[in-house]
Amino acid sequence: MYNEIDLNKIDLAAEPPAEEPSRQYYFMAKCRERVREFEQTYGRRPTACVTTFGCQMNARDSEKLRGILEQAGYQEAETEEADFVIYNTCTVRENANNKVYGRLGSLGARKKKHPQMKIALCGCMMQEPTVVEKLKASYGFVDLIFGTHNIYKFAELLYLALENQGMVIDLWEDTDRIVEDLPVERKYSFKSGVNIMFGCNNFCSYCIVPYVRGRERSRSHKDIVKEIRGLVSDGVSEVMLLGQNVNSYGKNLPEPITFAQLLKELEKIEGLKRIRFMTSHPKDLSQELIDTMAASEKICRHLHLPLQSGSSRILKEMNRRYTREQYLELVGRIRAAMPEIAITTDIIVGFPGETEEDFQETMDVVRKVQYDSAFTFIYSKRTGTPAAAMEDQVPEEVIKARFDRLLAEVQQIAARKAEALTGQVQTLLVEEVNRQDASLVSGRLGNNSVVHIPGDASMIGTYVRVQLDECKGFYYYGKAV
């Protein structure tokens, strides 16, 4: 693991090593030299702030960025009033991009007053050529831009940005590389995300992810097991396995292995108590996985199973490769094997050509499945995706009205489902002291529901049997029993 490498022992007079990850450790040590110079000039350590937009993949990537910044000698800043600010961006919907431009404007104003400040941008949005053109034209104060495929090179790029005055840009179109064993600074001591695969091959017609995250690549199961063993010995008891489509894990490895087989391997790790994963694509969710989950003591009773639409016609246009009937049949099998499982979903409203009848079919699936919660999205046109060129884009006000109806339905069902668990005793992993009321601690049940109970910071990271006394729609108040 990375902590076996002592940065002080790296010969900085030598040429940088060609192989990874040694090369990046060399540049971490180089950055440290610059950081020391900063300390001498300003009489304090430089501060760094990593701001994350988007999904759990990005959150995990940001932990890697923080790990490298820490090794380089930066002190973590709580706010963007820092010497180094990096935005790890998302581009899945247009409003994600707009948020970045908005905040970048204020960051630029701050840099005018603090010229020593460095600003970096990385993540999915940077993989779009039009974005980079816009940044070059109107946001010349940005010091460093890189993308999703070369994030492992952050130490090297940071060093270049510290050495140079202009804008450093390094963007790759794709990669088949996975670099292991770089430092990570985890947000929580007791739980962690673990990437099991990168990229996506599905090309759902509305989605930009395959274009910005590249082709599907799985990590070897040995590397995953090794990482999780290391995490467990470091105090982690819950992992969230991350991939755009975890159900197709392992298909392209030299020795193919299924996702269910990987889960069985992980189940054996002593000290690991909870295993979660996301995201599952319904078309690839196997009976083997259902059986493995049902037989498991550790895999949480929660499945995030994006529906996107309940209309088979729209699903076809979306290139989802399942029908409404197949989806419902799958949910039936999952529920038959695990009646207590929580099922959550993603739904898009207003895909091109969506009629009132199509929308009614979505509402109907929502009522039939009875989701424990659902993320609902207004369709966002992403340039370069097949759906962006489709005729028959649905008018905004029609989408908005449908969205409101869907949201009301989803919320009503979710509240009813949550209410049904009131009075039960379940196991809670305590995650943090409640932000509003310091006499409470908050955590999650296996099914991912949030519960607040009386307690203190000493309980963080522990598992407590709790009674769910009062349901508040999306969360519970309870007590230890």
- The site string for ligand SF4 over 117-136 (x = CB under 6 A, - otherwise) reads --------------------
58 binds ligand SF4 (CB under 6 A): no
- Which of 54/147 has CB closer to ligand 5AD? 54
What does the alpha-carbon distance between residue 205 and residue 208 come to, in Å, rounded to a whole number?
Answer: 8
What does the alpha-carbon distance between residue 313 and residue 38 come to, in Å, rounded to a whole number?
Answer: 60
- Which of 24/91 has CB closer to ligand 5AD? 91
Per-residue tokens: 138: 């109107």
Least CB distance to ligand 5AD at residue 148 (A): 15
207 binds ligand SF4 (CB under 6 A): yes
State the number of CA atoms in the 13 A half-sphere of 470 facing the CB: 5
- Please identify which residue in 68, 82, 135, 209 interacts with ligand SF4, judged by CB under 6 A: 209
When CB distances are held under 5 to 8 angstroms depending on the partner's kind, the choice from ligand 5AD, ligand SF4, none that residue 348 binds is ligand 5AD
What does the alpha-carbon distance between residue 207 and residue 56 come to, in Å, rounded to a whole number?
Answer: 17
- Which of 207/272 has CB closer to ligand 5AD? 207
- Which of 53/206 has CB closer to ligand 5AD? 206
- Please identify which residue in 204, 212, 263, 307 interacts with ligand SF4, judged by CB under 6 A: 204
244 binds ligand SF4 (CB under 6 A): yes
CA distances from 371 to 247, 366, 375, 440 (A): 20, 7, 10, 28
- Which of 244/447 has CB closer to ligand 5AD? 244
Which range in 127-135, 205-213, 296-304, 352-360 contacts ligand SF4 by CB under 6 A?
A: 205-213
Instruction: State the residue for tokens 């049940």.
Output: 445
Residue among 44, 42, 62, 43 at smallest CA distance from 52: 62
Comparing every residue's Cβ against ligand 5AD, the nearest one is 346
When CB distances are held under 5 to 8 angstroms depending on the partner's kind, the choice from ligand SF4, ligand 5AD, none that residue 281 binds is ligand SF4
When CB distances are held under 5 to 8 angstroms depending on the partner's kind, the choice from ligand SF4, ligand 5AD, none that residue 292 binds is none
Residue among 305, 298, 309, 389 at smallest CA distance from 349: 309
Residue among 201, 149, 148, 145 at smallest CA distance from 175: 149
Angle in degrees, CA 312, 318, 324, rounded to 5: 20
When CB distances are held under 5 to 8 angstroms depending on the partner's kind, the choice from ligand SF4, ligand 5AD, none that residue 100 binds is none
Least CB distance to ligand SF4 at residue 200 (A): 3
200 binds ligand SF4 (CB under 6 A): yes
Which range in 130-138, 165-173, 176-184, 204-212 contacts ligand SF4 by CB under 6 A?
A: 204-212
When CB distances are held under 5 to 8 angstroms depending on the partner's kind, the choice from ligand SF4, ligand 5AD, none that residue 200 binds is ligand SF4
What does the alpha-carbon distance between residue 293 and residue 426 come to, in Å, rounded to a whole number?
Answer: 18
Coil, strand, or helix at residue 294?
helix
- Which of 242/348 has CB closer to ligand 5AD? 348
Per-residue tokens: 215: 């082709």
Least CB distance to ligand 5AD at residue 304 (A): 9
- Which of 204/228 has CB closer to ligand 5AD? 204
Per-residue tokens: 228: 């999780």
Residue among 234, 254, 219 at smallest CA distance from 3: 234
Coil, strand, or helix at residue 127?
helix
* Greatest alpha-carbon span in the chain: 69
- The site string for ligand SF4 over 247-286 (x = CB under 6 A, - otherwise) reads ----------------------------------x-----
- Please identify which residue in 203, 234, 408, 420 interacts with ligand SF4, judged by CB under 6 A: 203
Least CB distance to ligand 5AD at residue 280 (A): 11
Instruction: State the residue for tokens 């990482």.
Output: 227
What does the alpha-carbon distance between residue 98 and residue 475 come to, in Å, rounded to a whole number?
Answer: 31
- Which of 88/308 has CB closer to ligand 5AD? 308
Q: Is the dihedral of CA 123, 200, 281, 60 positive or negative?
A: negative
Residues near ligand 5AD, by CB under 6 A: 92-93, 206-207, 306, 308, 346, 348, 377, 379-380, 382
Q: Is the dihedral of CA 422, 425, 429, 432 positive or negative?
A: positive
- Please identify which residue in 89, 195, 245, 376 interacts with ligand SF4, judged by CB under 6 A: 245
Classify burial at 428, counting beta carbons within 10 Å of its beta carbon; exposed 0-12, middle 13-18, buried 19 or more: buried
What does the alpha-carbon distance between residue 265 and residue 226 come to, in Å, rounded to a whole number?
Answer: 11
CA distances from 160 to 9, 11, 31, 170, 413 (A): 21, 18, 9, 11, 52
Q: Residues interacting with ligand SF4, by CB under 6 A? A: 200, 202-204, 207, 209-210, 244-245, 281
